[in-house]
A and B are shown apart, each in its own frame.
Chain A
Amino acid sequence: MFRNLIAFPLLALVVIVQSAVISHMTLLAGYADLMLVILAAWALKAEASSAWLWAILGGVMVSFVSGLPWPVTMFGYLFVVLLAQLLRRRVWQAPLLAMFSVTFIGTLIMDLFTLLVLNLLGTPLPIGDSLGLIVLPSMLLNLLFAVPVYVMIRDLAQWVSPAQEVE
């Protein structure tokens, strides 16, 4: 129970690493979204209630640092958790496949949602350029991060909830 409080320092550290390190590791104009990958892995391994809390906390922390409107990050991460919860029940025998699927679909939906909201708010973002230079490279980088993050989060989930059976 109390071990769930690890979310505060961990997610704060993730935001710092994302802002200071990951944002420099660019592929074309895109870079990985470490928070998304971590939330996806957590939602696949941990209890459902804590996954929702982690998503809200992650959304708040990222929107505090980012210039994106806060609903984008908040609803984006909540959608990722929802997707992970759905896939967890259906693809429970192949957790890595579920992780890749959540990362792939989650990145795509979140980036398209961001693109839509920013265009609606008056920031001119050409769809073609954004897809080719940001969305697809970011997705590739997220998929590269998916396996190591999944392994770490699996161990963390076991530490937070020792009684829970972890595949």
Chain B
Amino acid sequence: MRNLFGRYLQTTIIFLIVGGILFLAFGGYLGGASRGLGSSLVGIQTWLSTRYTAIQDFLAAPRDIATLRQRNAELESEVSRLQGQVIELQQKVDERDILAALVDFMRASPESTYKGAAVVGRDPSPFLHYIIINRGSNDGILRGMPVVTNQGLIGRVDAVVADAARVQLVTDPGSAINVRLQNADTDAVLVGSVTGDLSLDMISQDVTVEAGDVVLTSGLGGGYPPDLIIGQVLNVRKLDFELFQQAALQPAVDFARLEIVLVITNFRPVDVEPLIPITNP
């Protein structure tokens, strides 16, 4: 009985002590002590946790680096593939733009029939301005047919084989085309040069030519159909003691970036050589 009473007393005292401590703690009387204890415990836990994490990282790191490297390689490969795709799509967009412009041009000039061709090369000699296209006699291309883009005339077919043709550009030094100045309403001769610059010659001294005048094919001589745009007059050189005026021309076509061209297949050049009278000495 006494033993039982003692055990109750012991339990009651413990409860009272714990309750008292809790009471003092909630009442704010143990603030300094509990803060010190709490911060010590947190400090110990932080130290332990940091060390544990460091050890865990140390043990796990090699596997992660290998995984990351593998993943990095995969992503780099994916980026390369996507970059290739972007370039390919960009090329297709460019090609589509060119084709759309050419189709617009064909619709605007329904009197002619066209055959599209890609530019696959240039003349091996820098003295000549020729291009190679991937259409030939198998596609109905014949020597002398004019070649254009949606921007204007670029030249005419000079030689043909089964699946390719060589086109003499209007910028070739050997090229001479009869043209008409739209505003001045006069004829002239368009000639190429070594540098690819175009110039007009044989312009009568009587007419007034101004910068910006549009230059078109005249159709004289039978080499080209009339009214194909070539470019605009850049500047005029008029000297009183010369027989004719001369002018520099800004071509409508960018000859450095020819990719797809149109061959006018329903035009046959006329050979006027037999009609030129032979003068006997």
Interface residues of A (CB under 8 A from B): 15-16, 18-20, 22-24, 26, 29-31, 33, 35, 62, 65-68, 111, 114-115, 118, 122-126, 129-130, 133-134, 138
Q: Does B84 reach chain A (CB closer than 8 Å)?
A: no
Residue among A16, A19, A24, A133 facing the most chain B CB atoms (10 A cut-off): A19
Interface residues of B (CB under 8 A from A): 120-128, 130, 132, 158-159, 166, 168, 172-174, 191, 193-196
Interface contact B127-A125, CB-CB below 8 Å:
yes
DSSP class of A's interface residues: helix, strand, loop or mixed?
A: helix
Question: With A118-B174, A124-B173, A134-B194 known to touch, is A19 a contact of B122 (CB < 8 Å)?
Answer: yes
Interface contact A23-B194, CB-CB below 8 Å:
no
CB-based A-B contact count at 8 angstroms? 79
Query: B97 to chain A: closest CB distance in Å?
Result: 21
Interface contact A23-B121, CB-CB below 8 Å:
yes
Alpha-carbon gap, A10 to B125, bound state (A):
19
Interface contact A68-B128, CB-CB below 8 Å:
yes
Interface contact A29-B195, CB-CB below 8 Å:
yes
Question: With A65-B132, A122-B174, A125-B173 known to touch, is A35 a contact of B194 (CB < 8 Å)?
Answer: no
- Nearest 8 CB-CB pairings of A with B: A19-B121, A23-B122, A123-B174, A67-B130, A67-B128, A18-B124, A20-B121, A30-B126
B159 to chain A: which residues have CB within 8 Å?
A: 67
B166 to chain A: which residues have CB within 8 Å?
A: 65, 67
Residue in A closest to B166 when the chains form the complex, CB atoms: A67
Alpha-carbon gap, A65 to B160, bound state (A):
10
Query: B109 to chain A: closest CB distance in Å?
Result: 28
Interface contact B124-A66, CB-CB below 8 Å:
yes
A66 to chain B: which residues have CB within 8 Å?
A: 123-125, 128, 130
